[in-house]
Structure 1
């Protein structure tokens, strides 16, 4: 199971996400990083996980503010070997171009994340091959966003699997930072609907056994933050192969 570290950026700092209630987020207090500085946190998390991908949520942009372009530019330029998956509340192709183009021009390896909570129309998914100016090989990623039983999906992305890109994040916001465990039933259900999609889970991972269970359910990777900061996924647990859990 691939662990993709996450940083949530708000007002230029890394914050601790919990339950998708963004107004309550505060600067991260981390036993692993000892800092809320974005570059410090990103470097330590990527090194800890031996990651070649980093998920970045620009919470200023997601809440209707301006993207944190200068922070993002410095961060991505300092991580030349890392592909950055960026969710900046993209509503359409124009939003993508305004944010991704200046980052790509600086040499950043950045792939836009289309969050279902933000997209205005599935037309953006249909046009995704043209949605990354200057970096067409950075294929966009769809995030299917949900809080509890509510799908955050004004455009109808959840019901349009024929338009899903190769990589789809399953974002269960109520489980983010909760320690409630991953939603494996949802992963299984989406695997059944779209067997060839690469599913990346998000939310709820507590320990290495959760990652094993998520792999068995059909996830190819998982986005993780809190369990890393809290020491629940030590370095050795991410690098040593573990036996496949028995099916019961």
Structure 2
């Protein structure tokens, strides 16, 4: 099972997500990493947890179309051993080369203008974004044959909240696990949630708050990654 660290980047800093209300996002507590720079924080996370995958949301790109090209290029370039899933809101990132460890995240929230039939589904990850119901292209889940193997179920109302994890979304889609690998995001509070998600058949979970707050330790993450 993959436990995937999540970094939300806004104005060149890592910020704390709150229920998808991006106007409320504030820089992460400096004392946690002695920095708010995503490059520094990734180096620390990499050293401590040794993740295979890191998810990044470029909020500048998503909100106003101004992607953090240089920062993201530097991160991908200097961490060739990590696979990066990056949501830039369908904005093209100006990278210095074509990286093999970079996958674009296509989200239902920003689905307008994305042509599923003309994009190689091997090159991107799909995210179904929910606020009680799917937002954006509501027909997207019905287009299974055009969707990539890996799909994120993102409950925005649970992101950064104190509410319990909503497993209803997962249970609705997990029946399609023969065609897709499902990953859940939003509301993971503890190791119990991770184990329950694993038992229901998910391939991985995206975590932010419990990672930064050190609620789950490096030993647990390494065991989950190796299946021990």
Quote the RMSD (CA, aligned, Å).
2.3
Cα deviation code 1:141-178 (max 9, x no counterpart): 0000011x232123631332232210000000011111
Partner SS state of residue 219, structure 2: helix
Cα deviation code 1:178-199 (max 9, x no counterpart): 1323322211210114532100
Normalization by structure 1: what TM-score? 0.83
> Which ranges of 4 or more aligned residues in structure 1 deviate by more than 4 Å?
none
Gaps of 5+ in 2: none
Match of 2:144 in 1: 161
How many Å separate the matches in 2 of 1:48 and 1:2?
Answer: 15
Match of 2:191 in 1: 208
Q: Superposition pairs for residues 95-110 of structure 1, below 5 Å?
A: 95=91, 98-99=92-93, 102-103=94-95, 105=97, 107=99, 109-110=101-102
Residues 53/6 of structure 1: CA separation in 2 closer, same or farther (3 Å cut): same
Match for 1:117 among 105, 109, 113? 109
Contact 1:104 1:110 in 2 (8 A): no
Gaps of 5+ in 1: 132-137
Q: CA deviation at 1:89?
A: 0.4
How many Å separate the matches in 2 of 1:104 and 1:172?
Answer: 33
How many Å separate the matches in 1 of 2:20 and 2:4?
Answer: 19
Match of 1:151 in 2: 134
Normalization by structure 2: what TM-score? 0.90
How many Å separate the matches in 2 of 1:5 and 1:143?
Answer: 16
Residues 83/152 of structure 1: CA separation in 2 closer, same or farther (3 Å cut): same
Equivalent pairs, count: 226
Residues 126/171 of structure 1: CA separation in 2 closer, same or farther (3 Å cut): same
Match of 1:25 in 2: 25
Greater Cα offset, 207-216 or 174-183: 174-183
Match of 2:14 in 1: 14
Q: Superposition pairs for residues 190-205 of structure 1, below 5 Å?
A: 190-205=173-188
